[in-house]
Every structure is written in structure tokens, then in C-alpha cells.
Amino acid sequence: MSESKTFCGYCKQIDYKVCYPTYDIFGNNYQICQCNSCKAYFLSPRPNDEMLAKAYSADYYGESKEKFEGIFEKVIDYFRNKRAYRLSRLINNNASILDIGCGNGKFLKKLLKYGKYQLNGIELEGNSAKRALQISEINLKIGVLEEKDFAPNSLDAVTMFQVFEHLTEPKKTIDLIQNILKKEGILIMSFPNIASFQAKIFKGKWLHLDPPRHLFYFNPIDLVNLMKAQGFIHIKSSYSSIEQNPYGMIQSILNVFCKKREVLFELMKGNKYYAKEYSVFSILMQKIFFYLSFPLFIITNLMAAIFKKGATVEMVFKKS
């Protein structure tokens, strides 16, 4: 755990307020703080490199071939396809695309169903990157985005799906993206909505806080202002996600009743060790609750989206 003085990791100011406590899957305690200057929310204390390495170890990606197992991988594939279609509507043929945090590369590959594109991906070292390497159409960099990776004004679109909140230097990353995008280039990013109904109801037990992996959280309205200051125009936002939001509700409810957080989620990712103190009966009940309540929480997801309070948001920006 870092001993250094608390400051906002986004704008580096030390003027902040403490919002509520939270805890991670390893039993460490944190506080969710909000910067009074830039309005970003951040996890405090900031997890150190050792903690992050542990959180991103093989368990995060699952022991099995895919991050999620069986039926869940098929469902995720369906949503990947929808994301690819949405992006294809915003770009021209032959567009050059970069997906930051491209995972196994399947989202990029799906794009080829909708047009001829030049595909670039960046992913941290690990099993997902190894899978992405096997897709020959992707120009993959293993690591993080750096200034030397792309020429200025060279890309038509950059995507970051559920990645922004993981970044150690999000402001710097946005500046890098601004530099490498062509004028009027598209940036799509999705992330947890800290102003959502779920965040307000569950606070420290909300699934999408996901400490220590998530370091930052944003109110989408505040992010529009931050992005404007960094050279982006807000195009549109979508607050409904059947992929992310009903599950956020279900796991957050389970977190209220379980001593450990994300027991079912970790199990679905193939992390069997984490749930081993829970009985077969307990796990079965959690799974039954998941399947029975999912349709209800699809409806609440749609309702929350009307009020722009959905648990996650997908925002589209254009370089100004």
C-alpha cells in the first residue's frame, strides 16, 4: 500500500473530499474520494505496483481458454459484435482503428465483418494478449500506449471499452489519444458511472468499483468538461448496457449479503480458489438468483438509462 500523500491522480491536486469506504477481494480497505478541482473520483490509497500485479494475475483472466467460461463467452461475443457494428457506423472504409485494452482481440476482428479496416490493438502482457497475437489482422502492441507508438494525426478512431477506469495516468492517455487521432477522429470509451443509481445505492459494495483494478471513476457530465479542456467534443452517450448493468445490480446485491465481494463474478471468471469457503448450496442459490433476477434488472437498466443513471456509460467524442 502506498504511504505517499493522497492527491487526485487525474489532475494532481490535493484538494479532495472523502465519499465512502470500500474494500477489495484481497481484504484491503480503501476510500472513494472526489477531487474538488477536476471532480474525478479516485481510489485511495492508490494501489502500488505490487498490488496491481496481484490483481491482474492469471486469476483475473481465468484459468480456462477464455476470460469467461462457456455460455458467458457466447453472450459476450454477441455484445462485442454489437459494439463493432456501432463503431463501423461512425467510420469510413479503410479507417485506421486502435483498441486500447483490446483483450483477446475479438472485438477488433469482428469489425472486419462490417468493412475493411486497419486494426491496431494494445494489451497488457498476459493470456489475453497471447490470444490477440494469434489474430494476424491485428497489429498488436503488448504493454501500454506511448507517444512513439503512432504518428500524430494518424488514426481515425480509438476505442477504450471498460479500460479508462483502469489507467494509472488517464489524463496523459487522453492527451496521447488527442495527438494521434486525425482531426474529427472518433474516441469511444465506456466506463462505470459513479453518478448511477447503482453507485448511489450500493456505495462501497457496488460491483463496478472493482478495487484495486479500478483507480478512477467519473460522473459522465464532469467528464464532458474534462474532455473539452483536452480537445474533444462530446457527440453522444448511452447509459444502457445489458452486458454490464444487470450483472452490476445482481452482484452488488449479493455483495450486501456476502462477507466477501464478487464471489459469483470471480467464480464465473474461473477463479475457483476465491469462492472455496462458500458451500455448494450457497453458490447454487447465488446462481439461481442471478438467472431469475436477470430479466428484471434488464428492465431497471433501461429505466435507469432514461434518467442517464445507468451503471455504465458509453461515450462518443470527436477530436475538435
Binding site for Zn ion (CB under 5 A): 8, 10-11, 13, 35, 37-38, 40
CA–CA gap between residue 7 and residue 171 (Å, rounded) = 14
Edge to edge, what strands does the sheet with 16-23 contain? 16-23, 29-35, 41-44, 216-217
Instruction: State the nearest-atom distance from the C-beta of 77 to Zn ion, in Å.
Output: 37
Q: What are phi and psi of 138, to 5 degrees?
A: -100, 130
**Which of residues 14 and 75 has its CB atom nearest to Zn ion in the complex?**
14
Q: Cα torsion at 41, 46, 47, 52 (round to 10°)?
A: 60
Instruction: State the nearest-atom distance from the C-beta of 227 to Zn ion, in Å.
Output: 14
**Which of residues 8 and 215 has its CB atom nearest to Zn ion in the complex?**
8
**Which of residues 42 and 317 has its CB atom nearest to Zn ion in the complex?**
42
Instruction: State the nearest-atom distance from the C-beta of 7 to Zn ion, in Å.
Output: 8
**Alpha carbon 225 to chain centroid distance?**
20
Instruction: State the nearest-atom distance from the C-beta of 222 to Zn ion, in Å.
Output: 10
Classify residue 188 as left (phi > 0), alpha (psi -120 to 50) or beta.
beta
Question: Under a CB-based contact definition with an 8 Å cutoff, are residues 252 and 244 in contact?
Answer: no
Instruction: State the nearest-atom distance from the C-beta of 15 to Zn ion, in Å.
Output: 8
**Which of residues 230 and 238 has its CB atom nearest to Zn ion in the complex?**
230
CA–CA gap between residue 268 and residue 13 (Å, rounded) = 39
**Alpha carbon 231 to chain centroid distance?**
22
**Which of residues 29 and 36 has its CB atom nearest to Zn ion in the complex?**
36
Instruction: State the nearest-atom distance from the C-beta of 229 to Zn ion, in Å.
Output: 12
β-partners of residue 17 are 34
